[in-house]
Amino acid sequence: EVQLVESGGGLVQPGGSLRLSCAASGFIFSTYDMHWVRQATGKGLEWVSGISTTADTHYPGSVKGRFTISRQNAKNSLYLQMNSLRAGDTAVYYCVRSYYYMDVWGKGTTVTVSS
Amino acid sequence: EIVLTQSPATLSLSPGERATLSCRASQSVSSYLAWYQQKPGQAPRLLIYDASNRATGIPARFSGSGSGTDFTLTISSLDPEDFAVYYCHQRTNWPLTFGGGTKVEI
């Protein structure tokens, strides 16, 4: 079964850091681009980072310079290092597989930035 | 950044009725547009890719059309399980973007 399981969410103070992880199984991880997409409570979807099979990375302006996406193919794992966190980063963060389109989503992990 | 504008924000319909959802892009995305369905408490699910191709396992009552800047998702006859929020998404340019969503409610 194709599966993505996120972990690492939690409560962090403004200005703090958090590292999210995503464990992939049921498919050949190294052959897919991967993304992180977030959703604040009651709001829409926001793409926050993507990494290709060749480790090229992309970010929107809202997180560029603060977030870093990485992957470790040998461990079938995706990561998101989040620094200088703000209240506006509070959301459910989804790990997403992509082959041209985002076709498999994890259940998400919740990040809350609050003092 | 390509902005995707979805309309209407909310669509109130009954089971068996036809639903027509719109997504307009601020610049051409060719046919590189997808539609996702999200139910409360669940992750989004891919319905349509490349504007008009149904994803694996998606019922035939879902169809997509359009190219360039104007796209439509049609649900031919609403099933009770279709009441959800629908998002369009473009992969033409970085940053990847999503529309604001259309809620289909009873």
Residue of A nearest to B85 (CA): A44
Chains A, B: CB pairs < 8 Å: 51
Mean pLDDT by 10 residues, chain B (106 residues): 97 96 97 97 97 96 97 97 97 96 95
Q: How far is C-alpha A43 from the chain's CA centre?
A: 17
- Chain-chain contact of B45 with A105 (C-beta, under 8 angstroms): yes
Task: Please return the burial class of B72, using the count of CB atoms within 10 Å of its CB with bins 0-12, 13-18 and 19+.
Answer: middle
Q: Which pLDDT value is given to residue B106?
A: 85
| Closest CA relative to residue B90, chosen from A47, A14, A32, A18 | A47
pLDDT at A44 > cutoff 90: yes
Interface with B, mutate which of A102, A107, A109, A110 (most B CBs under 10 A) = A102
Residue of B nearest to A93 (CA): B43
- Chain-chain contact of B89 with A106 (C-beta, under 8 angstroms): no
Largest CA distance in chain B: 38
Looking at residues A100-110, what average pLDDT do you find? 97
**CB contact set of A93 (below 8 Å; sequence gap of 6+):** A6, A9, A20, A36, A37, A38, A48, A80, A108, A109, A110, A111
Q: How confident is the model at residue A62 (pLDDT cuts 50, 70, 90)?
A: very high
